[in-house]
Structures are given as C-alpha cells and as structure tokens.
Amino acid sequence: MTDMMESVVPRIIFVQADGSQSEVEVSRGHQSVMEFALESGIGGIDADCGGSAVCGTCHCFVNDPHMFGAIEPNEEAMLGLRPDRENNSRLSCQLSLSDVSADTTITLPEFQM
C-alpha cells in the first residue's frame, strides 16, 4: 500500500500555444511552477524578473485554479496589464509546486510581455 502511494507522482501537463504538450513528473522541492518549468526545459516562459511577481512574463493559464493559493494583490496588478488575461490566468512564479496534488494541465500563452 505504502509502495503504491509513493509511486503515484503527480504530473504537470504543459501545453504550448501551438498545442504541443510536455508531461513532467513533479519532483519534490519547494520551488515555484515557474522555476520547475524552466528547469524542465519548458518553453514559453520568460520570467524576466526571476520570480518576484514584478514583470508578468511567466503568465500561464491553469486548468485547476482551486489547486493553488489565492492571487495576492501584486500578482493581480501584473495580471491586470496582460492583454490576454483570462479568468484562470496566473503568474507561474506565484504557484507553489507543492500545491500540485494531482495531475494538472497548465497552458502557456502565445507570448510573454
């Protein structure tokens, strides 16, 4: 039973704007989804500011918004400037990898600015 529990590692399915997909198993660690994506070689994220929620260039769309912590005012302010803002928009630098409790899909936008 224990063995089975440990073997269930959630995956993030990253979907690029052109529809191409990459599935990555979530490794343990206290990273943000942005850092994890960059380390995993996922394209479509610029992350100019390196994770301070002050540039807006790690924008993504999450399929399971409830899985992650609430949007803080700083993140909201930066998302508010995106011309392609949607209800499920997030800055991936503000998403904690440890919140990924089950397989989930994250879609990258057409561009970062």
Partner 1 sequence: MNAPTHPFASDLTLPLTEIDVADPKRFELDCWQPLFSRLRKESPVHYQTVGDLGPFWSISRFDDIVEIEKNAEVFSSEPSIAIIDPLPELDIKNFIAMDEPSHSLQRKAFQPVVAPKNLTEFESLIRSRTRAALESLPENTPFNWVELVSRNLTTQMLATLFDFPWEERQKLSMWSDAAVSDERITGKADLTLEERQLMAVDIFESFSKLWQERLDDGVESFDLIRLMQKDPNTKDLINDPVMFIGNLLLLIVGGNDTTRNSMTGGVIFFNENPSELEKVRNDTSLIPSMVSEVIRFQTPLPHMRRTVTRDFEFKGHRMKEGDKVVLWYCSANRDDDVIKNPDSFVIDRESPRNHASFGFGIHRCMGNRLAEMQLRVLWEECLDLFESIEVQAEPTRLSNNFVRGYSELEVVVKRN
Binding site for partner 1 (CB under 8 A): 46-50, 52-57, 74, 77-78, 80-81, 83-84, 110-113
CB atoms within 10 A of CB 112: 18
Closer CB to partner 1, 11 or 85, in the complex: 85
Q: Where are the beta strands (DSSP E) in 1-113?
A: 11-15, 21-25, 59-62, 89-91, 104-107
Closer CB to partner 1, 23 or 84, in the complex: 84
Question: What is the closest distance, in whole angstroms, from the C-beta atom of residue 31 to partner 1 in the complex?
Answer: 16
